[in-house]
Amino acid sequence: MGFSYAGNLGGAGAPVIRRFHTNESMYEGCFVQSVGAGGQVGLLDVPATLNTTTTHPLGFVTGIVDDSRAYTAAVSGTAGYGDKTTYTATQSVVKSTGISEVEVCLAIPGVTLIHAPIYKGVWGTALYEIVNTTENSAGTTVVSPVATADIGDVLGMIYCRSGANRGMYRTIAAITTVTTTVTVPFPNTIAAGDTFVQVSLLLGFGNMMSSAAADCLDGNLTGADGHSVYFHEINLEESGKEYAVFCLWGGLANAAA
């Protein structure tokens, strides 16, 4: 499952569901935006600049309405799974299956809580787990066996999965090829063999950057682009099961930008 409903900050109340025609094929769980040509919604684009207003996140697909509905089993590392609507502009097909139509849970800014899996670029591909190679008694640097510089510096966080600092996270100050540096040290020595994971997301005000298929958060981007959101929870404890809970936050700039 991609994006899903996680609650309502306004208290009691059911999610607000609306039906829309689509301008492209999409799956249940995909995040959509308002569009014009061919339909009312399309898959959410990652904006070219931070907090752009050129694309407008609307909500996520909770059901397929038209008779083109077909199910695809999930395969890790492959985008596209679950119930799907197939977009068409061919009259004979529209007559047979109906216009491509989906049910969408509206993501009301500051109200609708949204649960989203976090992956590396594509659904099912877990974030890279760093096995630290170099002891650091100061608790400020983690050295990866491979380059990880594509994670945003001050727009990212690093979380300790094993070792004396297990369960703690820090905001990233800088990444230079294989070395991640934090400003506020972890309280204990970072030993060789300790495991960490880092992600281009931050608790509090941050950026939502979806995958190209709009079915998960991409945790492996620079963090320079995205839609304004407030992250209430970012859970990086278990590999392949990382997730975030957030709400849209209309128009507010990322505090770290």
Whether 195 maps to a domain, the answer reads no
Q: Place 223 in a pLDDT band, splitting at 50, 70 and 90.
A: low
Whether 150 maps to a domain, the answer reads no
110: left (phi over 0), alpha (psi -120 to 50) or beta: left
Whether 31 maps to a domain, the answer reads yes
Whether 205 maps to a domain, the answer reads no
Whether 166 maps to a domain, the answer reads no
Q: What single letter denotes the amino acid at residue 20?
A: F
How many CB atoms within 10 Å of residue 91? 8
Task: Please tell me which residue, 149 or 74, carries the higher pLDDT value.
Answer: 74
The Cα 232–Cα 19 span in angstroms is 28
Helix (H) or strand (E) holding 131, with range, is strand 129-131
pLDDT of res. 65: 95
pLDDT of res. 252: 45
Whether 182 maps to a domain, the answer reads no
Q: Which residues of 135-167 are buried (b: 16+ CB within 10 A; e: fewer)?
A: ebeebbbbbbeeebeebbbebbbbbbbebebee
Task: Please tell me which residue, 241 or 45, carries the higher pLDDT value.
Answer: 241
The Cα 155–Cα 177 span in angstroms is 16
Number of domains in the chain: 1
Nearest-Å Rg of the Cα atoms of the chain is 20
pLDDT of res. 255: 39
How many CB atoms within 10 Å of residue 65? 17
Q: Tell me: the pLDDT tens digits for 140-180?
A: 999 999 887 667 666 789 999 999 999 999 999 998 889 99
End-to-end CA distance of the chain: 30
**Structural domain range at position 77:** 4-117+230-246
pLDDT of res. 53: 52
Judged against a pLDDT cut of 50, whether residue 196 lies above it is answered with yes
Average pLDDT, the chain: 87
Whether 251 maps to a domain, the answer reads no
Judged against a pLDDT cut of 70, whether residue 91 lies above it is answered with yes
Whether 198 maps to a domain, the answer reads no
69: left (phi over 0), alpha (psi -120 to 50) or beta: beta
